[in-house]
Chains A and B, each alone.
Chain A
Amino acid sequence: MTNGSSPLIRLSGVTKVFLTDEVETHALSGIHLDIRVGEYVSIAGPSGCGKTTLLSILGLLDTPSEGSYSLKENEVANLSFADRARIRNREIGFIFQSFNLIGDLTVFENVELPLTYRGMGAGERKSFVTEALERVGMAHRAKHLPSQLSGGQQQRVAVARALAGRPAILLADEPTGNLDSRNGEAVMELLKELHAVGATICMVTHDERFAQHADRTVHLFDGRVVEDRIAA
């Protein structure tokens, strides 16, 4: 695992404090975490321990209260809203628990959306989208609206959307949480395949079975990393 090169992601001393009604919630305290290219990291821990918070900081959806975050050797903890949007768009693919497809856009347009925001030309967009949809086996449903698909199919489209822009890392927050076990396994199988061909993945999951898919499991408790285990 140690190839000497610097990690894709390095969090050092990251703290996140939420202030609500004069109550401070320390969601994360002093997190140190490196993620290397090609790794498949699973984050586990009890409810409320800060998994989602960690993922939204990794995904530049939120900023840490303290500490530094370097992505591809660039410090990104304190960038402007617009710069974070740009990096999110290029480097990060999100897979959400509740799919979050836009109901008024077709499958194709949903997958195309992040590429559009990148300012990519129509021809290139088309080939990227088609490739991603083929990868998840949803190319035949390109013209459907999300409401015309099953939950498992919707999540596969969401995976395609995350993939299409060829991001540096895929972030998934309980991607199987809204799926039955059969569909859940299918999506997990898909992530495994993606990892096999080189994708870097960081996934939050409650399910021990799925955590096994990853080659490294980080356990959080009360906002701290209590275990960082690399599978044999």
Chain B
Amino acid sequence: MQTLLQDLRFGFRMLRRSPGFTVLALLCLTLGIGSNAAVFSWIEGILIRPYPLVSHQDRMFALVGTTRGVEGHNGLSYPDFVDFEKNATLFESFIVDKITGTSLSVGDRAEIASVGIVTANYFDALGVRPILGRGFRSEEGTGRNAHPVVVISYRTWRDRYKSDPEIIGKTQYLNGVQHTIVGVAPEKFHGTFIGYSFSFWVPTSMQETFDSTGYKLENRGARWIEGYAFLKPGVMRQQAQAELNSIAQRLENDFPDTNRGHEVQLFPLWKTPFNGAGNMSPTLAITMAVVFLVLLIACANVSNLLLARSLLRRHEMTMRLALGAGRRRLVKQLLTEGLLLSLIAAAGGIAVACWCRNALVFAFPSPAAGIVIDYPGQIDWRVLAVSAGICIGSTLLFALVPAIHASHVDLSSALKTEGGGVLSGSSRSRLRSALVLVQVSLSFVLLAGTGLLLQSLNKMRNASPGFSTDVIVSGVDLFSGGYNLERAKIFHTQLLDRVRTLPGVESAALTRVFRPRIYSHGR
């Protein structure tokens, strides 16, 4: 205990007495640990466990409609969805979660916001309990436009309704239809769509209200549904897939006109083709490789620094041995010094990681006012432990190099030192300059690695998960703003004319329903 204190004091003094070494080593390690932890957290957050508060994400799979022999994917039709739900035995639940936009009137203005069209069982299946009011009742899922009820997100409640505690039962116009607010989702719940934070959820019964292309709940040929399925505990994906295949086969036989060649596939969440996941996973993989490289280079850099310093300390080690230090004692001292360095670095790394946690949001600016982009980045302690472990391990390893030197040192050289009285360094200048060379070249690799990382981030930004930022989407709902049809038409024409004459505008178009282009179809 006493020797530990002594070693710690000496370790601190060594760090203080060579500030160049200390700053450089700490910087390398901190950035190494920090960037790794941050990126692994993104990956964990986006690909592995993307949906905060949602339980059993390990049993959650994306439900994707495909056509035999054709690349890419399409949706499911509502009647098919209902048949799958009814006939499947290996599944705990099926949910629909179709992203769409809405325009809503706020006072005399109109804004757009993202809306999820979901099955009535949505919140129950996810295990998410609204903090105010309730989720949807099962009868609210059916009946054409029969249930204008809405659950709002926490952020919407806080920002748009000023956290009104009496919000339940109040109404809001969405796409011109007055909806009753029945629930407020918990703060951390953003929906089940990677990349977007939802503002509103409405039941499937309201599909027609939010879809400009018509009523589809009874149309087996209209494949619009994106959704998820939860397997029962212990069921393998292959078994579940086999069951879906047989149901699809039956549907194909029963409804050859609409269902010939149509199948349904279960995708792991990180491969979900209809949200940001599919787009982002390759780029995240690049990023991961790059930051891992950065971590390795950081370790190598620090090791080099330690090695260079071990040369400087060779004579000190010889002296300590000559004065009767055991090798174990020296190893203990060097370990303490290395540990001190890497623990400070690990603390710094945690700080960097926390700071970078939400940096992904900055890489993808919100494409339109009212749309909130969300990339959940939760610092995962396992991730942090692994990165910190790698750094601490390598630091300790190389911190021990002087001890290795010490084990086959010629002690009688202690009697033979020439030069000044204070031990400063052996002048093994050739080896040292070689180390400096390695050091410099590694730093260049580090620089290149960082460049690659930036490039990859840039690429991710361009592969934006939905909105092309070249296209300015602007949504207004004139009906909820009090316009009649005639006046609205005139307004539209005038608006387009004016927008077209603005400098820098190449083309302008109007569409009634806002629909983010989330994915590119294979076709």
A residues in contact (CB < 8 Å) with B: 52-53, 55-56, 59, 61-62, 81-82, 85-86, 88-90, 94, 96-105, 113-114, 116-118, 122, 146-147, 151, 154-155, 161, 173, 178
Select the stretch in B123-131, B313-321, B380-388 that faces chain A: B313-321
**Which residues of B, 396-445, contact A by the 8 Å Cβ criterion?**
410-412, 414-424
Which residues of chain A are within 8 angstroms of B326 by Cβ–Cβ distance? 82, 85-86, 117
Q: Does B324 contact A (CB under 8 A)?
A: yes
Which residues of chain B are within 8 angstroms of A178 by Cβ–Cβ distance? 421
- The answer, among A102, A113, A122, A161, for a CB contact under 8 Å with B423, is A102
- The interface size of chain B toward A, counting residues with CB under 8 Å, comes to 33
Q: Does B89 contact A (CB under 8 A)?
A: no
Which residues of chain B are within 8 angstroms of A55 by Cβ–Cβ distance? 415
Q: Does B325 contact A (CB under 8 A)?
A: yes
A18 to chain B, nearest CB (A): 10
Asked if B411 and A61 make an inter-chain contact with CB atoms under 8 angstroms apart, the answer reads yes
Asked if B412 and A85 make an inter-chain contact with CB atoms under 8 angstroms apart, the answer reads no
Alpha-carbon distance between A118 and B324 when the two chains are bound, in angstroms = 8
Number of A-B contacts defined by CB within 8 Å: 97
Alpha-carbon distance between A59 and B322 when the two chains are bound, in angstroms = 9
Alpha-carbon distance between A44 and B431 when the two chains are bound, in angstroms = 37
User: Which 8 residue pairs of A and B lie closest in terms of their CB atoms, listed nearest first?
Assistant: A89-B324, A99-B421, A56-B412, A61-B411, A103-B422, A62-B412, A61-B412, A114-B323
- The answer, among A98, A102, A113, for a CB contact under 8 Å with B417, is A98
Asked if A96 and B422 make an inter-chain contact with CB atoms under 8 angstroms apart, the answer reads no
**What are some 21 contacts across the A-B interface (CB < 8 A)?**
A52-B412, A52-B416, A56-B411, A59-B322, A61-B414, A61-B415, A82-B327, A85-B326, A86-B326, A89-B323, A94-B323, A96-B415, A100-B315, A102-B316, A104-B10, A104-B13, A104-B14, A117-B320, A117-B323, A154-B421, A154-B422
- The answer, among B10, B410, B420, for a CB contact under 8 Å with A105, is B10
Asked if B423 and A103 make an inter-chain contact with CB atoms under 8 angstroms apart, the answer reads yes
Which residues of chain A are within 8 angstroms of B320 by Cβ–Cβ distance? 102, 113, 117
- The answer, among A61, A94, A117, A151, for a CB contact under 8 Å with B421, is A151
Asked if A53 and B417 make an inter-chain contact with CB atoms under 8 angstroms apart, the answer reads no
Asked if A113 and B322 make an inter-chain contact with CB atoms under 8 angstroms apart, the answer reads no
Closest residue on chain A to residue B6 by CB atoms: A116
Which residues of chain B are within 8 angstroms of A53 by Cβ–Cβ distance? 412
Q: Does B3 contact A (CB under 8 A)?
A: yes
Interface residues of A, dominant DSSP: helix
Asked if A96 and B325 make an inter-chain contact with CB atoms under 8 angstroms apart, the answer reads no
Alpha-carbon distance between A96 and B17 when the two chains are bound, in angstroms = 25
Which residues of chain B are within 8 angstroms of A56 by Cβ–Cβ distance? 411-412, 415
Asked if A122 and B2 make an inter-chain contact with CB atoms under 8 angstroms apart, the answer reads yes
Closest residue on chain B to residue A96 by CB atoms: B415
Mark contacts of B190-230 with chain A using CB atoms, 8 A cut-off: 1 yes-contact digit, 0 otherwise: 00000000000000000000000000000000000000000
Closest residue on chain B to residue A114 by CB atoms: B323
Q: Does B329 contact A (CB under 8 A)?
A: yes
Asked if A117 and B324 make an inter-chain contact with CB atoms under 8 angstroms apart, the answer reads yes
Alpha-carbon distance between A122 and B6 when the two chains are bound, in angstroms = 11
Which residues of chain A are within 8 angstroms of B329 by Cβ–Cβ distance? 117
Asked if B421 and A155 make an inter-chain contact with CB atoms under 8 angstroms apart, the answer reads yes
Asked if B319 and A102 make an inter-chain contact with CB atoms under 8 angstroms apart, the answer reads yes
Closest residue on chain B to residue A112 by CB atoms: B6
Alpha-carbon distance between A53 and B319 when the two chains are bound, in angstroms = 17
Given contacts A98-B420, A99-B422, A102-B423, whether A88 and B17 have CB atoms under 8 Å apart is no
Closest residue on chain B to residue A174 by CB atoms: B415
Asked if A98 and B323 make an inter-chain contact with CB atoms under 8 angstroms apart, the answer reads no
Asked if A114 and B414 make an inter-chain contact with CB atoms under 8 angstroms apart, the answer reads no
Asked if B327 and A100 make an inter-chain contact with CB atoms under 8 angstroms apart, the answer reads no
**Which residues of B, 501-516, contact A by the 8 Å Cβ criterion?**
none
Alpha-carbon distance between A62 and B320 when the two chains are bound, in angstroms = 15
Which residues of chain B are within 8 angstroms of A94 by Cβ–Cβ distance? 322-323, 414-415
Q: Which of A94, A100, A146: most chain B CB closer than 10 A?
A: A100
Given contacts A61-B415, A81-B327, A96-B415, whether A103 and B424 have CB atoms under 8 Å apart is yes
Asked if B322 and A61 make an inter-chain contact with CB atoms under 8 angstroms apart, the answer reads yes
